Structure 1
């Protein structure tokens, strides 16, 4: 295993790392006067370590930010699908050890939640708080139905067909309810998929194979730390009910929805989602926020309902 500092500019540092023979890169935005532990941001499968730069204006004043292209994603080495979620979770711990960060607040969005939850289950010691967005503990039926079609289109070079399928998968039907920036984000997502390089397309196919092969959830203990799960109120991929289901498996999790958003809540309502994450990680109130629904406690509600039977 090797580690090397490849670039340092102002308060931003990039580190090249290698885990079990696979090279990957993390990005660290340092905060000299943090209000809370470093925030580790694990994004979705089509996001990379630069995808959170628009959130930095709100989050970087609070704490050090860490993003990463894990093996198999972004600019990092291709990772065969035989390497599952446990491997990626262990790579996260390897990164924290290598960069000398003993504790983190953990955010995972979409696929980042899958990796983040497994990391917290396998390596609970560094985790101080957990926030998951657009998350579920089971693969949505619409995902498993779409994967063969999208993968086949990618393998055949039908990028247009794959892009249209992925936009339909990730975004709600326009008739579901008012979603901020729906048309603009749909165009952005389509353009992003259309502009993928051959390396990115190969990784996208392997990612889908990895998820379908290994699944996204193991019923292992979750650390009893302050936790929050949120979804866009019109998320049709990882629905609010799926978010509540995930929160109910976590000892201290609360759940809420973000108004006028779907699965891409962190893009459609970037300032609001950053505010929610920042508030939670600095122990500020999250009840009664104008952009959120009611804050619930699904596990406590489940326990209470069982006790009343």
Structure 2
């Protein structure tokens, strides 16, 4: 049984916190899970359930996210990576397995570039390695709606820019995912004191995905219908990482962690424990005769 601990830290005058689900006899290094700019430490139940049996699990409200204090003006990637390394120091661990999804993929990649010796394995999903000017303009319109207090319009615009709305492409749990993401955007807009700042940073302070990486075993995965950054672009990014593997998960878009949560968690657990990936459920299409519901209740 995992023991839960929450610890508060401070870096550069900014207070933040992390949550540890400790496994005393883990089969692999501790796993840290990083997500979107508006996601906090309690947003990963599906990952926790699959990872707790094999490793300690770490989630965080990093500076500018969740309940943490806002970030100072200016570029934030360097400070956020330092905050993550500070968590490792506080835990007293030499290395971790690092999972990054969407915005968190940029942070995870930044950490692997800055301190590769402390990253045992790296899993990156929904990597926003190629964002167009048109997409930036869309999210800037969403930010403008939030700026003027139109939270419903903001939530709709932000959600539309993150999911595949093409009914000609099958995405399992599409409507459930859409409702969840939009509701999460509404909640963040109404309750988070720095939702606007977080959104603006996600648009303007984009991580650098160039430069490659070596010495860190890496898995990159994409939903087959990711419209934020296409699977083809994510595959090209993966090709810059020495010895990496790239996998496409069928019947999902950018929000593959919502649409196929158990499959993503299983794939991640397999990768971090050096088990075969070729037989992972994530690589199999979803049966379309009956919409699956397992895992969906965790989000809606």
Normalization by structure 1: what TM-score? 0.87
Q: Are the aligned partners of 1:80 and 1:206 in contact in 2 as well (CA < 8 Å)?
A: no
Partner of 2:25: 33
Q: Does 1:216 align with 2:200?
A: no
Q: Are the aligned partners of 2:4 and 2:20 in contact in 1 as well (CA < 8 Å)?
A: yes
Provide the C-alpha distance between the structure 1 equivalents of 2:168 and 2:121, rounded to a whole number of angstroms: 32
RMSD: 2.0
Partner of 1:51: 43
Provide the C-alpha distance between the structure 1 equivalents of 2:135 and 2:68, rounded to a whole number of angstroms: 25
Alignment of 1:290-309 (within 5 A): 290-292=281-283
Provide the C-alpha distance between the structure 2 equivalents of 1:226 and 1:49, rounded to a whole number of angstroms: 25
Alignment of 1:77-226 (within 5 A): 77-196=69-188, 198=190, 200=192, 202-217=193-208, 219-220=210-211, 222-226=213-217
SS of 2:72's equivalent?
coil
SS of 1:125's equivalent?
helix
Provide the C-alpha distance between the structure 1 equivalents of 2:242 and 2:282, rounded to a whole number of angstroms: 25
Provide the C-alpha distance between the structure 2 equivalents of 1:135 and 1:60, rounded to a whole number of angstroms: 25
| Structure 1 unmatched ranges of 5 or more | 1-8, 295-309
SS of 2:117's equivalent?
coil
Q: Are the aligned partners of 1:256 and 1:293 in contact in 2 as well (CA < 8 Å)?
A: no
Task: For residue 146 of structure 1, report the CA deviation from its aligned partner.
Answer: 1.2
Task: For residue 219 of structure 1, report the CA deviation from its aligned partner.
Answer: 3.2
Q: Does 1:279 align with 2:278?
A: no
Provide the C-alpha distance between the structure 1 equivalents of 2:72 and 2:191, rounded to a whole number of angstroms: 13
Q: How many residues align?
A: 285
Higher mean displacement: 274-283 or 252-261: 252-261
| Structure 2 unmatched ranges of 5 or more | 286-300
Measured against aligned partners, the alpha-carbon deviations of 1:4-51 in whole angstroms (never above 9, x if no partner) come to xxxxx9601101000111000100011122111101111111211111
User: Structure 1: which 4+ aligned runs deviate by more than 4 Å?
Assistant: none
Normalization by structure 2: what TM-score? 0.89
